[in-house]
């Protein structure tokens, strides 16, 4: 342990990471589905990014936002990969204090980006349905890339104070985490000092990002539904709503596990550690695994782009 400036306790030199509670002896077998998930995440999202980058017909607002979503999901997964595979494959259950704060920063920064991109995609669908003739003039490339830059900058600025706020707290020897990665809701329960500032700022981040984003997504889809019911009939109405299907799946895959994990951390303090671990894994791994599959199946242009890419590679061979 190393001394803190506070007289109340210490800053830990390391944190202890946990795999699946109660299944420690089976970590090598549990590593198999995690390796499979990482393979799907990086291969699936990487394929979507490659197809969008190389296919000029996909350089449109909807697909550029999808590329941002894939980048954010790769970022979240890459942030967790070293410690998750370290715990399950090599039984490396320690992480330094500084590395833990850095991992927490990247996981939550990319998660905030993911939420903001989902909001941008819902606005994109509203503009496409409400004003299709002005779609490309409203969502121009500078507007899209500017939006991406603002999303990234906002995420970094919002998350930057959290590691600093955690460093000012005494931990009094408590350094065992509940997961195989570092999350702020888990870290904030370990200090023995006054965490009111951390709680207030953490709540501010949650409400100003995930809370506001989810509210605006609901509003966007309310406007989309109102527009579709007002201007379309029969097949046109069905076609307009089908363009939102993949995005709705992405929103549900992201927000349902996140809400569940938040409820467990806030209200179920005595819940089973296994429940907390499974909810956290669902929150981090479900969206980046599901979204590439959903978009590859439900989005015709992405599907055709992947088929063309595979065909070209086959011809080269």
Residue, of 50 and 2, whose pLDDT is higher: 50
- Is the full-model pTM beyond 0.75? yes
Angle at CA 176, nearest 5°, toward 171 and 177? 105
SS3 231: helix
| pLDDT average, residue stretch 167-195 | 85
> Would the pLDDT of 151 be above 90?
yes
Average pLDDT taken over every residue of the chain: 87
- Percent of the chain whose predicted confidence (pLDDT) is above 70: 91
pLDDT band at 271 (very low <50, low <70, confident <90, very high): low
| pLDDT average, residue stretch 202-216 | 93
**Token digits for 229?**
């019911």
Determine whether 184 is exposed, middle or buried from the number of CB atoms within 10 Å of its CB (0-12, 13-18, 19+): buried
Question: What would the DSSP string read from start to end of 185-241?
Answer: HHHTTS--S--HHHHHHHHHHHIIIIIHHHHHHHHHHHHHHHHHHHH--THHHHHHH
Worst-scoring range by mean pLDDT, 27-41, 145-159, 170-184, 256-270?
Answer: 256-270
| pLDDT average, residue stretch 43-62 | 92
- pLDDT of 90: 87
Residue, of 240 and 21, whose pLDDT is higher: 21
- Find out whether 117 and 86 touch, Cβ atoms under 8 Å: no
pLDDT band at 101 (very low <50, low <70, confident <90, very high): very high
């Amino acid at each position: 342990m190393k001394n803190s400036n506070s007289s109340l306790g210490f800053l830990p030199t390391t944190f202890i990471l946990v795999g699946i509670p109660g299944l420690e002896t089976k970590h090598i077998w549990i590593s198999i589905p995690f390796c499979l998930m990482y393979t799907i995440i990086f291969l699936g999202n990487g394929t979507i990014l490659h197809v969008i980058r190389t296919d000029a017909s996909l350089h449109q607002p909807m697909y550029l936002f999808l590329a941002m979503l894939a980048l954010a999901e790769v970022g979240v997964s890459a942030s967790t990969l070293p410690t998750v595979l370290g715990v399950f494959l090599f039984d490396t259950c320690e992480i330094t204090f500084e590395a833990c704060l850095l991992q927490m920063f990247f996981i939550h920064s990319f998660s905030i980006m993911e939420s903001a991109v989902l909001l941008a995609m819902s606005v994109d669908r509203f503009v496409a349905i409400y004003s299709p003739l002005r779609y490309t003039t409203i969502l121009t490339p500078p507007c899209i890339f500017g939006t991406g830059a603002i999303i990234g900058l906002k995420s970094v600025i919002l998350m930057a104070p959290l590691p600093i706020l955690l460093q000012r707290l005494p931990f009094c020897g408590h350094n065992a985490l509940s997961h195989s990665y570092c999350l702020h809701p888990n870290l904030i329960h370990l200090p023995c000092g006054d965490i009111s500032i951390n709680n207030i700022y953490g709540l501010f981040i949650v409400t100003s990002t995930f809370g506001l984003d989810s509210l605006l997504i609901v509003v966007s889809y309310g406007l989309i539904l109102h527009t579709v019911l007002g201007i379309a009939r029969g097949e046109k109405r069905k076609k307009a709503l089908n363009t939102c299907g993949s995005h709705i799946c992405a929103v549900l895959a992201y927000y349902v596990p996140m809400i569940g994990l938040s409820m467990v951390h806030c209200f179920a303090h005595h819940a089973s550690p296994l429940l907390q671990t499974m909810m956290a894994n669902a929150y981090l791994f479900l969206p980046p695994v599901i979204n590439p599959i959903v978009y590859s199946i439900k989005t015709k242009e992405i599907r055709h782009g992947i088929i063309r890419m595979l065909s070209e590679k086959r011809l080269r061979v």
